[in-house]
């Protein structure tokens, strides 16, 4: 087994290190001085919050393996301990670069644009008085300093909250006694406190105000040192579903435990003395590879607050998502969908068409049932309101809710209870499998018989993230698709053992085998015709078996283009193995989230879309679904979308054989000018052009109707 893993490690990248390379590309966006300032702030925030999740889930998993003395190497040839060490080596320079960008680029430019952070010492006396009063009246009653000595153990600090380590001395004693106290900074206060005039964008950090007033907590003592730190804990839920009598209660209990999981990272101020740092390391039972020193305010993730500032010149140009012409021409969604399949490319096409379709179904007296799979949605979702309204209108409403959607468990529990209280049939999926596919089925009585309408999506039914994620959504009333959807709902909600479907590829049953089969077919087609081509757009490429099948296709001469946003374990460019494989990643204004599987098939393309990435969990431990694209025009559209992504030379990076990513060389035209192409901005520009044309059409329609009305009068 060791030799086998060693051989495989030459072909496969470490999953963790590949993810770190992805987040490095996010950091590059923060460092790109050609971008608007607040967009750079946004990417710096995303970089930081991505790291939080990485530590809470992936690094915590490695730590569990080390503690459990699991010494086996994974298919990348590394043990868990080796991966932890590599993570530290790779992340330290990235964290240092993030703070260099913050200190040298972001802060000065914010100041130039009248957005400024002040230290307490820089404030005038009036501002100090106002903030001191705020501290005395609001913050002081909440704070609880915890002494650290033989009587008081280290406090159970909540995951990802800031804290101070304070060193105290009693001035009444001759000898200096360094007593240590820990003070957790409350997370339910705003971190950015406004100073000066309202909406002046002048701020001071909450921790600076607390530090300036901390002596009030230690009467009779002198504070000699005060340093901020932050811990990150394991947040992966460990569920024993088979033994759970009530999955909802089980997850509620596990979410509470998450606040006090095993510590996997300690962030400290760079200037912290070794004596205090070693004290924290010892008391928290950490090793040096779990400590990250930062030159600035801990947790840059909170910078997303600044993105709310209404300064359009500091952000990307705005645009209005387009309403599909099929829905503009026909107010009735059911009539529009009956005419033909309709594909929406979000966020360039408005997600409002989806929410309005559900709202119309909730009101329509001919609609008998609505069935929906909900993985994540926004807190105040119009979709939830429509489902509740539909149930109150006497319709049969079923919601398959995935309670285990990571970091959305609490939100999902809240609105699952709301749905249940309104009379919606809420189902929590299948034990042992996470339900990740996205479907909406509406049953309507038309001309004396039941007709089904279906919406299939690559993304969550979340109106908020639909504005920043690229996703695909298909409206159809194709009978084969609708029958498969009904069978899939019966599998999820009842005891159906449905494993095979007419059109859908469903995991954990047929998806892996079918996709492998398509690759085999492309290999055979290439042998016969010499034109084999596979294009896959996904978020992650991790599964070993799938990767080795792609190697087989490459070795047979099939051209393979992979558009993988995040983790890619496949090593391209290996002679005799993967020289025909090109991998790019697009990290830009929108989060790439759509999945498309394309097989050229000698000029008769086979195209699938859906919610599944190329990961073992998606194939084997989730209920996933891919659906075929059959409408000729939609096939053409998706083929064009894929080729446009492959053309990007601004936000795309190409994966090298050593695991690093490089910018793509920009071609030069006949005039000697560089031809830049940013695929996301291209879609935005196309939307703006079409929106103007359609607005003119709508205007002309309204004028025509007014003239007809006047003539009739």
- What's the start-to-end Cα distance of the chain, in Å? 87
Q: In whole angstroms, what is the distance from residue 298 CA to residue 229 CA?
A: 7
Selection from 269, 698, 241 nearest residue 434 by Cα: 241
Please compute, for residue 189, the number of CA atoms within 13 A of its CA located in the half-sphere on the CB side.
Answer: 22
Number of residues assigned to the chain: 713
Structure tokens at 646: 């492959």
Widest CA span of the chain, in angstroms? Answer: 102
Give me the sign of the Cα torsion angle 506, 508, 514, 516. positive
Structure tokens at 683: 């879609």
Residues 6 or more apart from 80 whose CB is under 8 A from it? 62, 63, 65, 66, 70, 71
Residues 6 or more apart from 663 whose CB is under 8 A from it? 649, 653, 654
The answer to whether the CB of 377 falls within 8 A of the CB of 384 is yes
Structure tokens at 112: 């130039």
Work out the angle at residue 388's Cα, subtended by the Cα atoms of residues 435 and 442, and round it to the nearest 5 degrees: 60
Rg (CA), the chain: 28
Work out the angle at residue 499's Cα, subtended by the Cα atoms of residues 496 and 500, and round it to the nearest 5 degrees: 125
CA dihedral 695, 700, 701, 702 (to 10 degrees): 90
Q: Which helix (H) or strand (E) covers residue 41, if one does?
A: helix 37-54
Residues 6 or more apart from 16 whose CB is under 8 A from it? 58, 59, 62, 83, 86, 87
- To which residue do tokens 């500032």 refer? 309
Which are the catalytic amino acids?
436
State phi, psi for 574 to the nearest 5 degrees. -85, 125
CA dihedral 358, 470, 637, 25 (to 10 degrees): -170
CA dihedral 112, 116, 117, 122 (to 10 degrees): 90
């Amino acid at each position: 087994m060791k030799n086998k893993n060693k051989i495989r490690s030459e072909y496969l990248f470490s999953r963790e290190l590949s993810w770190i390379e992805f987040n490095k590309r996010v950091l590059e966006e923060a460092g790109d001085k050609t971008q608007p300032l607040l967009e750079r702030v946004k990417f710096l925030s995303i970089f930081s919050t991505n790291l939080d999740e990485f530590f809470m889930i992936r690094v915590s998993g490695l730590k569990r393996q080390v503690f459990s003395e699991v010494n086996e190497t994974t298919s990348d040839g590394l043990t868990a301990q080796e991966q932890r060490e590599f993570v530290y080596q790779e992340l330290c320079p990235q964290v240092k670069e993030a703070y260099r960008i913050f200190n040298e680029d972001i802060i000065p430019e914010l100041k130039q644009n009248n957005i400024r952070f002040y230290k307490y010492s820089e404030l005038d006396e009036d501002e100090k008085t106002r903030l001191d009063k705020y501290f005395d009246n609001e913050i002081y009653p909440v704070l609880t300093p915890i002494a650290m000595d033989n009587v008081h153990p280290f406090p159970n600090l909540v995951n990802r909250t800031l804290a101070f380590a304070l060193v105290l001395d009693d001035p009444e004693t001759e000898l200096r006694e360094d007593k240590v106290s820990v003070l957790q900074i409350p997370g339910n206060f705003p971190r950015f406190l406004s100073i000066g005039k309202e909406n002046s964008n002048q701020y001071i950090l909450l921790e600076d105000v607390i530090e300036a007033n901390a002596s009030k907590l230690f009467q009779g003592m002198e504070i000699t040192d005060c340093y901020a730190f932050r811990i990150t804990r394991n947040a992966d839920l460990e569920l024993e579903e088979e033994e759970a009598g009530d999955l909802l209660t089980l997850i509620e209990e596990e979410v509470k435990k998450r606040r006090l999981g095993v510590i996997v990272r300690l962030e400290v101020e760079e200037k912290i003395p070794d004596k205090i740092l070693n004290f924290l390391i010892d008391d928290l039972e950490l090793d040096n590879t779990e400590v990250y020193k930062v030159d600035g305010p801990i947790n840059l993730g909170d910078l997303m607050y600044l993105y709310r500032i209404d300064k359009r010149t500091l952000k990307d140009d705005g645009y209005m998502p387009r309403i599909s012409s099929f829905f503009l021409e026909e107010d009735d969604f059911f009539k529009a969908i009956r005419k033909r399949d309709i594909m929406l490319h979000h966020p360039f096409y408005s997600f409002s068409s989806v929410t309005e379709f559900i709202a119309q179904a909730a009101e329509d007296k001919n609609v008998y049932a609505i069935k929906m799979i909900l993985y994540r949605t926004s807190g105040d979702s119009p979709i939830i309101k429509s489902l509740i309204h539909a149930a109150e209108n006497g319709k049969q409403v079923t919601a398959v809710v995935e309670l285990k959607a990571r970091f959305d468990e609490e939100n999902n529990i809240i609105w699952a209870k709301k749905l249940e209280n309104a009379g919606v049939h809420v189902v929590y999926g299948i034990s042992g499998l996470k339900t990740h596919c996205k479907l909406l089925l509406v049953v309507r009585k038309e001309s004396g018989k039941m007709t089904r309408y279906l919406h299939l999506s690559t993304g969550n039914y979340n109106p908020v993230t639909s504005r920043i994620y690229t996703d695909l959504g298909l409206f159809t009333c194709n009978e084969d698709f609708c029958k498969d959807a009904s069978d899939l709902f019966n599998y999820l909600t009842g005891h159906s053992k449905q494993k095979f479907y007419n059109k859908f590829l469903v995991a954990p049953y047929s998806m892996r085998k079918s996709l492998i089969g398509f690759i085999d077919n492309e290999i055979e087609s290439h042998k016969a015709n010499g034109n084999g081509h596979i294009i896959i757009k996904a978020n992650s490429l991790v599964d070993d078996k799938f990767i080795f099948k792609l190697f087989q296709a490459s070795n047979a001469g099939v051209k393979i283009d992979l558009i993988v946003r995040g983790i890619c374990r496949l090593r391209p460019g290996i002679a005799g193995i993967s020289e025909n494989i090109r991998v790019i990643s697009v990290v830009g204004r929108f989060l790439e989230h759509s999945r498309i599987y394309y097989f050229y098939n000698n000029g008769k393309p086979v195209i699938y879309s859906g919610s599944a990435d190329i990961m073992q969990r998606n194939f084997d431990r989730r209920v996933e679904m891919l659906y075929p694209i059959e409408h000729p025009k939609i096939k053409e559209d998706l083929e064009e979308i894929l080729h446009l992504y492959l053309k990007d030379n601004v936000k795309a990076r190409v994966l090298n054989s050593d695991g690093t990513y490089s910018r793509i060389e920009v071609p030069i035209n006949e005039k000697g000018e560089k031809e830049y192409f940013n695929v996301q901005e291209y879609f935005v520009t196309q939307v703006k052009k079409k929106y103007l044309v359609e607005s003119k059409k709508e205007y002309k329609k309204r004028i025509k109707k007014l003239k007809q009305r006047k003539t009739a009068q």
